Chains A and B, each alone.
Chain A
Amino acid sequence: MLASLEVAMFYSLVVATTLCMLLYMIWLGSKNEFIGRLATFFTIIALIADTFAIILRMITSGHPPLSNGYEFLLTFVGGILAVYLFAEFRYKLRSLGAFVMPIPCLLLMFIIMSMGPEERIAQAVPPALKSQWLTFHVITAMFAYGAFAVSFGLGIMYLLKLSKEGNGEKLSQGIVSRFPSLEVLDELAYKVVGFAFPLLTLCIITGAIWANYAWGTYWSWDPKETWSLITWIIYAGYLHARLMYGWKGKRAAWMAVFGFAAVLFTFFGVNYFLPGLHSYAQ
């Protein structure tokens, strides 16, 4: 019964995420306020469905939703939806939805297309995963990665707006007219990275504490650890270059996009191409 409800929640999440992505795009073109509100409404529905799917999975499996790739992806999607909604309400930035929502939508499509039902069911967790530190580790990763996805969306918006300005197009019309100013986009991306960077650091630290309890080694240069460090260095570079060389604007936007590519590789690439201690995450 609960398992069926969880499946229903998952498909509600898929439908709501797809709808909100499409609605945000239509809103961007049509400027129809009702469509904009509907997009936000479906994003909230998606977050609620995701949260319920995770809670139901926790009830049926009896442990935090961290036993396989499906569960990790659900938390990742939840992180993106939560951080995005916060940014939309806090900064009145609905146009961001058209650039962020494709990410959870693609992640969910990835689940549907590449993971069979047997890969999605709750699995027994090995003794090494039975740690509270792991819960903190994944929660911090969820919000950090979610925020990096939002900074990616802001970077894309910045680059789009800049290219339109460069072409000398009239900015009072068209999609980019709904975007905030370049300065606001740039600073917002910086704020989001500034929010996510300490969280990514905390994610790495809680991972190190957990690894020390589980394997007696706080750092073992496992591919996942190494790539999370590389991601950390890329964002550290973003923050430094901004201060030192005044790499604001275009370069910073490219770094936000590049940084999120590293996030995706850390999340997917390492799990599927570079096995190590984190191989259970597949």
Chain B
Amino acid sequence: MNENSKGIIDRLWGAFSSMKLGLTLLGIIAFVAGIGTVIPQEAMDQGKAQAVGGLWKTLGFTHLYSSLWFRLLLGLLCINLIVCSTKRLRSIYLRTFKLTPPSKLAQVPQKNKQVVKGELASLRESVQEFLRQKGFRVTLSDQSNPWSFIATKRRLGNWGSLITHLSFVVLVVGALLGSLLGFKGSFTEEAGKTLPIQAIQLSKGTVSETFSVSINSAEDRFLPNGERDNWYTDMSILENGQEVARDTLSVNHPFEYKGITFYQANFSNGARFTADMGGQKNPVVLQDQGQSYYKAPGTDLYLVANLSGSSSLKPSVLYQVYKGTGADPIQTGQLTSGQTIDVQGKYKLTFDSLAGFTGIQVKKDPGVAVIWLGCGLLLGGLLLAFYWQPLVISGILQSEKGKRGSLTVGVLSGKMPDSTRKALEQFVSSVTKMIS
């Protein structure tokens, strides 16, 4: 039983330590991710995603990136990367910190090697001088016969690949943290209103915090040339009714409080009205483009507003009144600021002023810091791997006749054989020049 389980573990370890598996998983992930850009996704276009065939929906193709099997693929890739990295750790450590000079000719890299002949003492000195000048880290053999050396430059580049691979695991952990411990939601509110954080519309997770958010002002600001500058929201955080933080946020300039970040996501205009029903005056605020409606109490009349053509200098509103579920409006018209109309004899409506509705996205994601750490590691690893490639030269000096000898020197070919060959040629020509 024990041997069996050991065999299974070994087999699993063997399977997951395969780079072939990693590449296959990457290929599958790329292919599947590509499919997700063609099939409508619920997160992007719920309407179109609903129209997709039942089988695709059942298989999770309309919420592909959050489906269990897609996450399973990412998980398998993580395991593969961890196992591969663990397996390579020791050899990378040895290659970086424990390089040993060759003790016999066969240990000199065979693919890229050359021989230099000369006086033993002169060869030894020239080699050391050249390596010192070029900034190599040199390790010499303990014994003098045969004398040998191994020299390395940019040795930390050995870690580039490992760091890059592990950074992917860090990124997945960061995403997981955000998914399990965070929440995401939004709210649209006009200036002067306060709402508890728990009242926001959530799309993911739950809110445990209890503070309130007060919108002091919301502004759609324009530049002198008529271009939109940005949307600005002056916002306060209230704890037990007391303001504890305040900031003005705009797109690309979020505001953070206790790990919860508020993003300026959008902005919509609206209009303030007063509805007068037999002397009882009710304030009414409607969003542009019929995004909200007003149903007068005791009637089946629905009022919506449209602000196209309105400006801050000349505020005006197009209104439409619908009856019940009727598709066509029974009353329409335009109102300028301060103008009053009668709505089907039921109430009087006065257009007071324009209003701004700020759209704020709210997010708590404890994984973001981990994500940035993963990004940093990914980039650092790649820079080490591609811009800081290690170079290892080793050689062995064998005496021939009397004071003369031959130095066999080789360079580890690495990823770029042509460049390493040039490095070897430079070494040989410099040493030859120095001894002559």
User: A227 touching B34 by the CB < 8 A rule?
Assistant: yes
User: A244 touching B37 by the CB < 8 A rule?
Assistant: no
User: A127 touching B379 by the CB < 8 A rule?
Assistant: no
User: A274 touching B37 by the CB < 8 A rule?
Assistant: yes
Give residues 103-132 of A contacting B (CB, 8 Å): 124-128, 130-131
Asked if A191 meets B251 with Cβ closer than 8 Å, knowing A201-B378, A240-B19, the reply is no
Using C-beta atoms within 8 Å of the partner chain, give the interface range for chain B.
35 or more
Asked if A127 meets B231 with Cβ closer than 8 Å, knowing A213-B254, A221-B41, the reply is yes
User: A213 touching B253 by the CB < 8 A rule?
Assistant: yes
Q: Which A residue's beta carbon lies closest to that of B44?
A: A276
User: How many residue-residue contacts, CB under 8 A, span A and B?
Assistant: 115
Q: Which B residue's beta carbon lies closest to that of A183?
A: B418
Asked if A127 meets B265 with Cβ closer than 8 Å, knowing A215-B361, A240-B19, the reply is no
Give the residue among A184, A216, A274 with the most B Cβ atoms within 10 A: A216
Q: Smallest distance from the beta carbon of A15 to chain B beta carbons, Å?
A: 33
B61 contacts chain A at the CB level, 8 A cutoff: no
User: B23 touching A184 by the CB < 8 A rule?
Assistant: no
How far does the alpha carbon of A217 sit from the alpha carbon of B368 in the complex, in Å?
Answer: 9
B403 contacts chain A at the CB level, 8 A cutoff: no
A205 contacts chain B at the CB level, 8 A cutoff: yes
Asked if A227 meets B23 with Cβ closer than 8 Å, knowing A201-B382, A215-B361, the reply is no
* B38 contact set on A, CB distance < 8 A: 274
User: A234 touching B23 by the CB < 8 A rule?
Assistant: no
Asked if A237 meets B26 with Cβ closer than 8 Å, knowing A130-B252, A216-B263, A226-B33, the reply is yes
User: A270 touching B37 by the CB < 8 A rule?
Assistant: yes
* A194 contact set on B, CB distance < 8 A: 386, 415
How far does the alpha carbon of A190 sit from the alpha carbon of B418 in the complex, in Å?
Answer: 11
User: B250 touching A127 by the CB < 8 A rule?
Assistant: yes
Looking at the complex, which one of B41, B254, B416 makes contact with A216 (CB distance below 8 Å)?
A: B254
* B343 contact set on A, CB distance < 8 A: none
Q: Is the interface of A mostly helix, strand, loop or mixed?
A: helix
Give residues 93-141 of B contacting A (CB, 8 Å): none
A25 contacts chain B at the CB level, 8 A cutoff: no
* B23 contact set on A, CB distance < 8 A: 237, 240-241, 244
Using C-beta atoms within 8 Å of the partner chain, give the interface range for chain A.
35 or more
* B34 contact set on A, CB distance < 8 A: 226-227, 230
Give residues 355-411 of B contacting A (CB, 8 Å): 361-363, 368, 371-372, 375, 378-379, 382-383, 386-387
User: A187 touching B263 by the CB < 8 A rule?
Assistant: no
User: A128 touching B415 by the CB < 8 A rule?
Assistant: no
Asked if A229 meets B33 with Cβ closer than 8 Å, knowing A198-B383, A213-B252, the reply is yes
* B227 contact set on A, CB distance < 8 A: 124-125
* B230 contact set on A, CB distance < 8 A: 127, 130
Q: Which B residue's beta carbon lies closest to that of A128?
A: B251
* A183 contact set on B, CB distance < 8 A: 417-418
User: A216 touching B363 by the CB < 8 A rule?
Assistant: yes
B293 contacts chain A at the CB level, 8 A cutoff: no
Give residues 223-256 of B contacting A (CB, 8 Å): 227-231, 250-254
Asked if A197 meets B382 with Cβ closer than 8 Å, knowing A130-B251, A184-B418, the reply is yes
How far does the alpha carbon of A130 sit from the alpha carbon of B251 in the complex, in Å?
Answer: 8
* A215 contact set on B, CB distance < 8 A: 263, 265, 361
* A190 contact set on B, CB distance < 8 A: 415-416
Give residues 171-200 of A contacting B (CB, 8 Å): 183-184, 187, 190-191, 194-195, 197-198
Q: Smallest distance from the beta carbon of B354 to chain A beta carbons, Å?
A: 19
User: A212 touching B368 by the CB < 8 A rule?
Assistant: yes
A36 contacts chain B at the CB level, 8 A cutoff: no
* A212 contact set on B, CB distance < 8 A: 368
Asked if A216 meets B251 with Cβ closer than 8 Å, knowing A227-B34, A234-B30, the reply is no
Contact mask A195-229 → B, CB, 8 Å, 1/0?
10110011001001110111111111111001101
A243 contacts chain B at the CB level, 8 A cutoff: yes
A233 contacts chain B at the CB level, 8 A cutoff: yes
B7 contacts chain A at the CB level, 8 A cutoff: no
* A128 contact set on B, CB distance < 8 A: 251-252
User: A244 touching B19 by the CB < 8 A rule?
Assistant: yes
* B9 contact set on A, CB distance < 8 A: none
* A7 contact set on B, CB distance < 8 A: none
User: B382 touching A226 by the CB < 8 A rule?
Assistant: no
A251 contacts chain B at the CB level, 8 A cutoff: no
How far does the alpha carbon of A210 sit from the alpha carbon of B253 in the complex, in Å?
Answer: 10
Q: Smallest distance from the beta carbon of B278 to chain A beta carbons, Å?
A: 45
Asked if A205 meets B375 with Cβ closer than 8 Å, knowing A195-B386, A214-B252, the reply is yes
User: B19 touching A127 by the CB < 8 A rule?
Assistant: no
Q: Which A residue's beta carbon lies closest to that of B360?
A: A216
B188 contacts chain A at the CB level, 8 A cutoff: no
Looking at the complex, which one of B19, B184, B386 makes contact with A198 (CB distance below 8 Å)?
A: B386
Looking at the complex, which one of A214, A217, A229, A236 makes contact with B251 (CB distance below 8 Å)?
A: A214
User: B36 touching A226 by the CB < 8 A rule?
Assistant: yes
A250 contacts chain B at the CB level, 8 A cutoff: no
User: A187 touching B416 by the CB < 8 A rule?
Assistant: yes
B29 contacts chain A at the CB level, 8 A cutoff: yes
How far does the alpha carbon of A241 sit from the alpha carbon of B361 in the complex, in Å?
Answer: 43
User: B386 touching A197 by the CB < 8 A rule?
Assistant: yes
Q: List 15 A-B contacts (CB under 8 A).
A: A130-B251, A183-B418, A187-B416, A187-B417, A187-B418, A191-B419, A197-B382, A209-B375, A212-B368, A213-B252, A216-B265, A220-B43, A221-B36, A229-B30, A230-B30
- A-B interface, 4 closest residue pairs, ranked by CB to CB distance from nearest: A127-B251, A216-B263, A124-B227, A198-B382
A contact residues vs B (CB 8 Å cutoff): 124-128, 130-131, 183-184, 187, 190-191, 194-195, 197-198, 201-202, 205, 208-210, 212-223, 226-227, 229-230, 233-234, 236-237, 240-244, 270, 274, 276
Besides the known contacts A126-B228, A216-B363, A230-B34, 13 further A-B residue pairs in the complex with CB atoms under 8 A apart = A127-B231, A128-B251, A184-B418, A197-B386, A198-B383, A201-B378, A201-B379, A205-B379, A212-B368, A220-B43, A229-B30, A233-B27, A243-B415
